[in-house]
Each structure stands twice: as C-alpha cells, then as structure tokens.
Amino acid sequence: MLRNYEGVRFLSNKQMVIFDIGSAYTKFGYAGEPTPRGIIRTEIKCPETKELRRIYDYKNTEDLYQLLVEFLHALFFRHVVLSPKDARIVVLESLLSPTQFRNTLAKVLFRHFEIGSLMLLPTHLATISTLGINSALVLDVGYKEATLIPIFEGEPILKAWQALPLGGQVVHEYLMKSLKELYPNVDVTEKMVEDIKVRTCFVTTLERSVKLGTKEAPNPPPFVKYPGVKSIDIPGEVREKAFEVLWERDNDNLSLPTMILNAIMQCPIDVRRVLAENILLIGGTTMTKGFASRLKSELLSLVVLSLEL
C-alpha cells in the first residue's frame, strides 16, 4: 500500500524554498528536489487598476515594493502553499541584477513576510554546480537580454562579462509586426505571439540563413494553421526568420557568437582553453529547436574567418 505514496514527502516551514524570478517567468521549488514545483508568469494584477503588470516593468522603488508584495503573496499562498514566516528562502539572481531590485526584494521578504533567512545565489554559479564542474562559459539568453559570464574554478571573471539586449522579447516584436501586417483584422496578443513562437518557430541552419532574401533562397517551410476564434496561417518564412534577429550584428558588430569569442579573448590566456571547452546554455530562449546547433555553426564560421584573416 505504501508504494502509492512514494512520491509524497513531508514539507514543513523549515523546508528551504527556491525562487528563480525571471523577466518573463518565475520558477519555484524546494531544496533537494530535482525539478521545480512549478513555473508561473512574473506578473500580477494590480489591486488598484486591475491591470496585469510584469514585475520588472516597475516605475520606481515604491511601485516595485507594492508589485513584489502582491506577487510574493500569491506565490507563497497560492502556489508554494507555505507560510513565509520564519521560512528559509534562496533566490537565484543574475550577477548583473540591479541593486534597486535586490534591495527591494530583500526588504519585502524580511519586513513584510518576516522570513527567517535569505540567500541570494548567482544563477551562473548555481547552474554549473548542478553539472559537477567548476569552469564554464555560461550564456543566459532569457526574455529581455543575453548575458555571458565566464566562471573559472568557481569564481566569475567579471572583467570579461558580456551583455546584449537580445532575447525572447525581440523575437516577439518581429512576430507581432509580421502577423499584424498579414492579418490586420486579427487581435494579436502577447500570449498568442508567445504560443506561436513556442509551437511553430525554430532556428534555421547557417547555410539556409545565408541564402534567405537572395535569389538562391531555399524553399520555405510549410505554413502552419494556428487555431483560435479565427484561425490563421503562419507562413513558413515567418516561422524560419523569427529567430534570425538573434544572429544579426548590431552597430558595434556584436551578436551572440561574438559575445562568446570576446569573452574568451578578455580572459587570461591560461584559462581560455578550459572555458572554450565548456559552453553552458541556460534561459528559455536557448531551448528553441536548432538554437545550440546554429550557435555552434556560427562560432565555427567566425573561427575560420579569423584564421583566414
């Protein structure tokens, strides 16, 4: 009879709770468990205006404080189902997280919820610990930006960190613009765009990308019918080009692949080989089909080009 309850474990207020508050989604769970208990959107309905707002779109410190109070209250009592009083909390955060957000979060947790203890753990360091390694180039491509921090023997090399405003948000903007041009009479929402991105879009190969928009352009992928109140057809060209913005060079000739090479070159020469052998991808955008393969092709292409020069 006990076999039916093997997956059930006792949780007390002394259980350590883990929060990973991202720009788009928040993951939460308990220490010692292999996966998060749940993933929710990092947004809350404002009590005064009844408007759904993202936590990171705060106006000032006071606004952020109120947003965090409402969001964490829902997180503790609706999702984690645990009294925050005297609880032990671990918050995963980026090393580049704004001081204003970090201080306000700590103030809310201690003053409003009266937690027992708080540990702020850098995401990049926590990630490599799960793999049992001490050195890696950790590339985090999330919703708003891509950040890269080299970690050598458990220590971040901060002088070589890189960041670019490339992430899921720019992909959403491209899809939103394309769909509104194709279907001006359809109400295209942010959630609809995200669903289309996850279900239908992919990162194309470098070989096909080079030919896109030329006379030698390959045949586009088939269209996909997206269901809804009014079903629409997602053209194959839109599906294939959605993530191309991540690989385009900006005015400073920077992109995701150049971030990696620049970070390696800014590290001490005796650690470059170790870091180049361990490139760790984290963040929701890196889970897109074809992302890792395209990144590898782009890096090899840059290396070959540099050798020719």
Kindly report, residue by residue over 22-76, the tens digit of the pLDDT: 999 999 999 888 889 999 999 998 877 888 999 999 999 999 999 999 999 999 9
pLDDT number for residue 308: 63
Using only C-alpha atoms, what is the Rg of the chain? 22
pLDDT for position 6 = 37
| pLDDT less than 50: residues of the chain | 1-11
CA distance 142 to 282: 8
Distance (Å, rounded) from C-alpha 50 to C-alpha 60? 19
117 forms beta bridges with 88
On whether the CB atoms of residues 90 and 119 are closer than 8 A, the answer is yes
Query: What is the Cα–Cα distance from 115 to 87, expressed in whole angstroms?
Result: 5
Q: Exposure of 115 by Cβ count < 10 A (0-12 exposed, 13-18 middle, 19+ buried)?
A: buried
Question: Are the C-beta atoms of 95 and 64 separated by less than 8 Å?
Answer: no
168-246 homologous superfamily: ATPase, substrate binding domain, subdomain 4 (3.90.640.10)
d(CA 15, CA 90): 11
pLDDT at 214: 79
| Structural domain 133-166+250-308, CATH architecture | 2-Layer Sandwich (3.30)
pLDDT at residue 309 in the model: 56
- CATH code of domain 16-126: 3.30.420.40
pLDDT of residue 275: 94
All CATH 3.30.420.40 domain ranges in the chain, comma separated: 16-126, 133-166+250-308
The tokens for 276 are 């180049």
Q: How far is CA 239 from the centre of its chain?
A: 20
Distance CA(69)–CA(127), nearest Å, equals 28
Are 25 and 284 within 8 A, CB to CB? yes
Q: In which residue ranges of the chain is CATH 3.90.640.10 found?
A: 168-246
State the CB neighbour count (10 A cutoff) for residue 253: 7
What is residue 305's predicted lDDT score, i.e. its pLDDT?
A: 79
The pLDDT of residue 63 is 93
And the tokens for 143? 């919703």
